[in-house]
A = this chain, B = another copy of it.
Amino acid sequence: MAKAKKKATRPKPKTKTAKSTKAKWVYSFGGGKADGRAGMKNLLGGKGAGLAEMSSLGLPVPPGFTITTEVCTYFYARGKKYPPALEAEVKAALARVEKSIGARFGDAANPLLVSVRSGARVSMPGMMDTVLNLGLNDETVEGLARRSGDRRFAYDSYRRFIQMFGNVVLGIDHHLFEEILELHKEDRRLNLDTELSAEDWQRVVEGYKKRVVEELGKPFPQDPRDQLWAAIGAVFGSWMNQRANTYRRLHSIPEDWGTAVNVQAMVFGNMGQDCATGVAFTRNPSTGANEFYGEYLINAQGEDVVAGIRTPQQITVAGKNANNSDLPAMEEAMPQVFKQLLAVRERLERHFRDMQDIEFTVQQGKLYMLQTRSGKRTAPAALRVAVEMVKEKLIDRKQAIQRVDPASLEQLLHPTLDPRATRAVLARGLPASPGAASGKIAFFADEAEDRANKGEKVILVRAETSPEDIHGMHAAQGILTTRGGMTSHAAVVARGMGRPCVSGAGELRIDTSARTLGVAGKTLKDGDVITIDGGTGEVMQGEVPTVQPAMSGDFAVLMGWVDEVRKLGVRANADTPADARTARGFGAEGIGLCRTEHMFFEGARIVAMREMILAADTKGRRAALAKILPMQRQDFVELFRIMKGLPVTIRLLDPPLHEFLPHSDAEIAEVAKSAGMSVGDVRHRIAQLAEANPMLGHRGCRLAISYPEICEMQARAIFEAAVEATEGGKSVVPEVMVPLVATKRELDILKAVIDRVAAQVSRERNVKLKYHVGTMIELPRAALKAHEIAETAEFFSFGTNDLTQTTLGLSRDDSSSFLDSYTRHGIFPTDPFMSIDVEGVGEMVRIGVERGRKTRKDLKLGICGEHGGDPASVRFFREVGLDYVSCSPFRVPIARLAAAQAELAQVARDK
Chain A residues at the B interface, C-beta cutoff of 8 Å:
691-698, 702, 705-706, 740, 742-743, 745-746, 749, 778-781, 784-785, 802, 805-811, 813-815, 817-818, 821-822, 825-828, 837, 839-841, 843-844
Contacts and interface: CB of A to CB of B under 8 A. Distances in A.
Contact of A827 (B745, B809, B814): B745
Number of chain copies forming the complex? 2
A449 to B, nearest CB: 16
Contacts of A693: 693-696, 805, 811, 813-814
Nearest to A690: B814
Given A695-B696, A749-B825, 17 more contacts: A691-B814, A693-B813, A695-B695, A696-B814, A705-B821, A706-B818, A742-B809, A742-B810, A742-B840, A743-B828, A745-B825, A778-B809, A780-B844, A781-B840, A784-B844, A802-B809, A806-B806
Contacts of A745: 825-827
Contact of A837 (B781, B814, B839): B781
A779 B807 CA distance: 6
7 contacts: A693-B813, A697-B811, A698-B817, A742-B808, A743-B840, A779-B807, A780-B806
Interface centre among A697, A815, A828, A839 (most CB of B within 10 A): A697
Q: Considering the complex of A and B, which 8 residue pairs feature the smallest CB-CB distances, nearest first?
A: A696-B811, A781-B840, A693-B811, A697-B814, A780-B780, A692-B813, A779-B809, A691-B814
B740 A809 contact: yes
A305 to B, nearest CB: 41
Q: Which of A779, A781, A809, A822 has the most CB of B within 10 A?
A: A809
Contact of A809 (B696, B821, B825, B839): B696
A802 B807 CA distance: 11
A807 B825 contact: no
A781 B841 contact: yes
Given A693-B813, A784-B844, A813-B692, A822 B705 contact: yes
A813 B746 CA distance: 21
A270 to B, nearest CB: 46
| Residue with the greatest number of chain B CB neighbours at <10 A, chosen from A697, A742, A749, A780 | A780
Contacts of A809: 695-696, 740, 742, 778-781, 802, 806
Nearest to A847: B784
Nearest to A744: B827
A694 B814 contact: yes
A821 B708 CA distance: 12
B843 A784 contact: yes
Contacts of A840: 742-743, 780-781, 784-785
A794 B291 CA distance: 63
Given A825-B705, A826-B745, A827-B745, A811 B692 contact: yes
Contacts of A843: 784
A435 B600 CA distance: 52
Contacts of A802: 809
Nearest to A779: B809
A706 B828 CA distance: 14
Contacts of A691: 811, 813-814
Contacts of A837: 781
A746 B827 contact: yes
> Which of A702, A828, A843 has most B Cβ within 10 Å?
A702
Contacts of A781: 807-809, 837, 840-841
Contact of A780 (B705, B706, B743, B807): B807
Nearest to A837: B781
A705 B806 contact: no
A844 B806 CA distance: 13
Contacts of A780: 780, 806-809, 840, 844
A818 to B, nearest CB: 5
A653 to B, nearest CB: 14
A456 to B, nearest CB: 16
A643 B780 CA distance: 38
Nearest to A783: B780
A706 B818 CA distance: 7
A543 to B, nearest CB: 28
A826 B802 CA distance: 25
A694 B693 CA distance: 7
A826 B744 CA distance: 11
A806 B696 CA distance: 8
A808 B821 contact: no
Given A743-B827, A784-B844, A696 B821 contact: no
Q: Which of A778, A784, A785, A843 has the most CB of B within 10 A?
A: A784
Nearest to A706: B818
Contact of A779 (B692, B706, B808): B808
Contacts of A702: 818, 822
**Among A740, A746, A784, A814, residue most surrounded by chain B Cβ atoms (within 10 Å):** A814
Nearest to A841: B781
Contact of A839 (B698, B740, B785, B826): B785
Nearest to A784: B843
